[in-house]
Amino acid sequence: MRAIEALRATGVRQFVFGVGVAFALTPWATAPIALGLGLVLALLGLTAWEGRAKKASRLLIQWSIVLLGFSINLEEVARAGSSGMVFAAGTIFGTFAAGLLLGRALGTERQVTTLICSGTAICGGSAIAATGATIRAGAAQMSVALVAVFTLNAVALYAFPPIGWAMGLSPGQFGTWAAVAIHDMSSVVGAGKAYGDEALKVATVVKLARVLWIVPVSMLAGWLEARAVRAERGGGSSGEGEGKAARGGGVIAAAARVVPWFIGLFLLASVARTVLPGVSEARWSVEWGGQSVSSVSDVLRAAAKQAMVVALLLIGAGLSRKALASVGWRPLVLAGALWVLISVASLAVVRATM
């Protein structure tokens, strides 16, 4: 303990924190490792530049969501068909309905419940990050939700393929189930790859279709959170607030509250990935500087992943023992129960309909 106190009292703390951030920029740093390292730094009191780190984490999350859009080809998503979109909508709605009921029963904090539902229903860490940015969740809420999701991702990555083989699932069935029941894209890809190329292809397309739900879900969560905060403070209704904004010439500001800037750019990036020359080599042969849009999108997707890794380290580093204790154990129970529920329910639907 004396050694740690000595580190805090000198510039070594800044050095250690800087080394941690530098490590998050390397290929060896995955999202769970970065979040864990940030938590260790926070609990040891070795976090530096707290104010700047908090602002940087928010900006990195927002821009990583924007860059993620360049990996989504809307044509491929459309090929999933209307049935796939209906299935996605149904499971997302069901996940939120069950999560809100479980959260109320467990007494979990409103923001934490929203984050866990978003991560479980859509795409894990990315959905939590996007939703957390719109509802302005704190470091404790974000960290607990992310820890729960990453832990369950690790379990699913190794558990799902043997379950699929034991139940005799076809590649299409397994790919669809994995895309619905596994939170994060990377774990979906890993499980799909273990099951075979066809399962990987199906899982990737279905999961990309679910990623698009980041837009409406994060927007709705932000709007509902704003309404809840106004109600707690005894403020006016949302319509009254929007009317005042419009009368005061703040139409753009009012629109920005409904559609955050990074969500709008995420949509534009998805459109660009779909329609720009070189996106589909079957239709265009144009290349930019020797690099097709598809290869450029791969670079941007890698940049998005790395930005998210650094952001997660900064989020973890912003946690405190007091904040962690205030969140408690209930969110972990909520995340686990909700994940088991959606996994069993989606498997039953997939086996009955495919």
Q: Which domain holds residue 53?
A: 2-353
Q: What does DSSP assign to residue 186? A: H
Tens-digit pLDDT profile for residues 172-205: 899 889 988 888 777 787 788 888 888 887 887 7
CA distances from 216 to 93, 134, 258, 263, 331 (A): 12, 11, 10, 9, 24
Residue 277 CA, chain-centre distance (Å), reads 29
Tens-digit pLDDT profile for residues 95-133: 899 999 999 999 888 888 999 998 888 877 778 888 887
Determine the residue type at 348.
Answer: A
Q: What are phi and psi of 196, to 5 degrees?
A: 135, 165
Would you state the structure tokens that stand for residue 214, as one six-digit string? Answer: 């980041």
Tens-digit pLDDT profile for residues 254-276: 444 445 666 677 778 878 877 76
Give percent of the chain above pLDDT 70: 77
Question: What residues contact 107, with CB distance under 8 A and at least 6 apart?
Answer: 330
* Residue, of 243 and 15, whose pLDDT is higher: 15
Residue 246 has pLDDT above 70, yes or no: no
CA distances from 268 to 17, 61, 262, 276, 292 (A): 35, 17, 10, 11, 18
Ranges 54-58, 276-280, 307-311, 338-342: which has the least confidence: 276-280
Residue 226 CA, chain-centre distance (Å), reads 20
The position carrying tokens 């699932």 is 169
* Residue, of 84 and 325, whose pLDDT is higher: 325
Helix (H, G, I), strand (E, B) or coil at 327: helix
Residue 18 has pLDDT above 80, yes or no: yes
Q: What is the pLDDT of residue 212?
A: 75
What is the number of other CB atoms lying within 10 angstroms of the CB of residue 324? 17
Residue 285 has pLDDT above 50, yes or no: no
Calculate ∠ Cα 136-302-137, nearest 5°: 10
Reported pTM: 0.69
The position carrying tokens 């991702």 is 153
288 pairs with which residues across the strands? 291
Residue 242 has pLDDT above 50, yes or no: no
State how many domains the chain has. Answer: 1
Whole-angstrom distance, CA of residue 63 vs CA of residue 230: 28
Burial of residue 265 (number of CB atoms within 10 Å: 0-12, 13-18, 19+): middle
The position carrying tokens 């962690």 is 324
